[in-house]
Structure 1
């Protein structure tokens, strides 16, 4: 345990990108191949310049393979600020009306869409039509049908569609997935995922059904859904769900406050999860198998992630998630690398299928079959 921790600490010092170190396996950060030979940079335009976009862009300052080269925003003052911070020329700045012009801009290889959920679908279609790769924040869309259309549009255009699952490249997460895959936990029986916080400003877009497509489930509950899938290592086949709403003014019709849901898997494993906008300190994963367990708390926050198993503490060294994510996504787009835990459009679509089924189960009060069609 100590030797593994020391090893990873040495190669992650100064937030270097692991695949750039000769002879070191990128599996630690979620890629399947063993070395980089192409050191070209992925030139990225950020669409939507809100708080999370700023976090991503600041993290990318430490990237070895990805660079912010353009912006797309409806707010001119934000564009000016980003130009100054990231040395972006006027010709690489667009608004929501004219960004189709990226088609003829060689300074932009990909667009990272970080806008309200309901805008992901139309914006992805336009970026794909312009022949640029798409990195889209989660949830990828507001329902599975839109997600499928996004996948097909990118496939038709011959561009990548990647979803912003930063945890798929996080070291503690990957170590627990490795342990499960190699049988160290034995057959998996149970997963628990708790995701929630008390949301603030009642006027924000996350509480607007038309822009968010829902409430807590779309924003924070998706972590428990996605985590259940990669921790258990199976796709759930049924769901039951119950909704609790204590503030119908803040959480209007179609905007969920708190949902508890249960998932069933083909092996017989089950998951019990909670998604909420009305409770703090909920960021925990627990995985139980016949031979052992793994627990993470916090499990999906910006870090550091804290984790332990029946063998002892993990707490692998923290590297800024978005830095690692963008370097690895650059390797996927530029070098054809594959992520150990997928981050493609199909991965995002499966989460949307499950979310659709959860909302249906809340509505009907019945056990709903999850159909991946």
Structure 2
């Protein structure tokens, strides 16, 4: 298993993609065909033509409000292959050296940066300076300092910065968030997030400190961090954390294998989470309140997501997450839509500050205050 994406795909299974539907209204709309979309379309270039880039490209075939029109890669052969496969015009293809010339291309609105984490900051800043909106895969950077530089660069260039939080548009996730906001679970007291799989190839970039910024925490633990925030509806104010490393040869200095961490929230709720590269079957969320509960498993895989509450199952037709994500991001960029759960750079920056605090807590062995 070379990546969390392959693992999650295998674990969660696959489902027939339905026509693109708005995230939380999917169930209501699924019964009848929708009229052809007539509005503006976000024209996107993908930067980084790896396995996840291809997943996004395939998903965008079903988008109504976003279209793949450009490519950026450091591998000439990939550019040629993708250009033919997706019908991309030669003038919309760039390598890493010519990327800055994209500022002269009026046919590209946004660039989706899908590279190793350690390259996110530099590419995002270059895209922003070229005057294009930035969509960046999560985690948005190697640390909060880099994330802040990305936020600042996009603000200075007056372009939007969005982070690839596909779960923020997933209908079962949103339904449970709605139920929590409506008070169905009463006072929220506890959240548990389990995120992990057994990683394969020890030479891959995800086990390279410079490229990944860490290990399991950056790759898969970020789901429990982000999930704790949207499930509880608050940002944590302190963290404690413990690291376990059973294979120091594979997981070298600065590359975490397994970290358990605990988060405290201003309303009194606490979270207990596990991030690991050494255990399979870990993709679960549990939210507990004094009047009810919600659980999800799989909770962040590529789908279908499964959820239930103390009142029964929560079901919606499965729609490819990246298809919904890109259509929704089109509305955010072109129409100024405000998503129910934020996906902007400030949202990503908060997660990076929490990650930094977790690593600090591991080193110190104490409780670390999280400062936003």
TM over 0.5: yes
1:17 aligns with 2:20: yes
Map 1:53-132; keep pairs closer than 5 Å: 53-132=53-132
C-alpha contact 1:258 1:278 (8 A) present in aligned 2 = yes
In structure 2, C-alpha distance between the alignment counterparts of 1:144 and 1:28, rounded to whole Å? 40
In structure 1, C-alpha distance between the alignment counterparts of 2:193 and 2:75, rounded to whole Å? 37
Equivalence for 1:275:
275
C-alpha contact 2:17 2:320 (8 A) present in aligned 1 = no
Once the two structures are TM-superposed, the CA of residue 16 in structure 1 deviates from its matched residue by: 2.8
1:206-233: per-residue Cα shift (whole Å, max 9, x none)?
0000100100000000000000000000
In structure 2, C-alpha distance between the alignment counterparts of 1:278 and 1:16, rounded to whole Å? 37
TM-score normalised to structure 1 length: 0.92
RMSD value, Cα: 1.9
In structure 1, C-alpha distance between the alignment counterparts of 2:37 and 2:44, rounded to whole Å? 21
Secondary structure at 1:285 match in 2: strand
Once the two structures are TM-superposed, the CA of residue 107 in structure 1 deviates from its matched residue by: 1.5
1:243 aligns with 2:243: yes
1:93-132: per-residue Cα shift (whole Å, max 9, x none)?
1111110011010111000000000110011110000000
1:31-90: per-residue Cα shift (whole Å, max 9, x none)?
xxxxx9961111100000000000000000000011110100011111111111111111
Equivalence for 2:201:
201
Distance 1:127 1:120, change over 3 A: same
Once the two structures are TM-superposed, the CA of residue 140 in structure 1 deviates from its matched residue by: 0.4
Unaligned runs of 5+ in 1: 1-12, 30-35
Count of aligned residue pairs for this structure pair: 352
In structure 2, C-alpha distance between the alignment counterparts of 1:126 and 1:77, rounded to whole Å? 23
Distance 1:63 1:311, change over 3 A: same
In structure 2, C-alpha distance between the alignment counterparts of 1:115 and 1:144, rounded to whole Å? 18
Once the two structures are TM-superposed, the CA of residue 15 in structure 1 deviates from its matched residue by: 2.7
Equivalence for 1:9:
none
In structure 2, C-alpha distance between the alignment counterparts of 1:76 and 1:128, rounded to whole Å? 24
Equivalence for 1:309:
309
Equivalence for 2:9:
none
Equivalence for 1:47:
47
TM-score normalised to structure 2 length: 0.92
C-alpha contact 1:172 1:314 (8 A) present in aligned 2 = yes
Equivalence for 2:161:
161
In structure 1, C-alpha distance between the alignment counterparts of 2:337 and 2:27, rounded to whole Å? 11
Map 1:172-183; keep pairs closer than 5 Å: 172-183=172-183
C-alpha contact 1:38 1:335 (8 A) present in aligned 2 = no
Distance 1:37 1:88, change over 3 A: closer
C-alpha contact 2:238 2:263 (8 A) present in aligned 1 = yes
C-alpha contact 1:28 1:174 (8 A) present in aligned 2 = no
